[in-house]
Structure 1
């Protein structure tokens, strides 16, 4: 019973860590795509 409880805790903790990691990765991707978008606009003709 305590083994199951411990395993459940580990699964929840690792799920939480994975979720935080995914959020960080998503934030990086969004930030990169936004800055790339700005760069593309800067080099577009007629300032479009």
Structure 2
């Protein structure tokens, strides 16, 4: 399950290539991408 989560997060270009060099900004991007993926999940 964890590996699938990382694979889905890597679909976001800024996370896969780590454009943001500052740790706080990178973490914010990961949180935002995770939220987007969570909201896309079908309710059930």
Q: Which TM-score tier does this pair reach, normalised by the shorter chain?
A: 0.3 to 0.5
Relative contact order: is structure 1 or structure 2 higher (C-alpha 8 Å, sep ≥ 6)? 2
Q: Which has the higher helix share?
A: 1
Structure-2-length-normalised TM-score: 0.47
Greater Rg over alpha carbons, structure:
1
Structure-1-length-normalised TM-score: 0.44
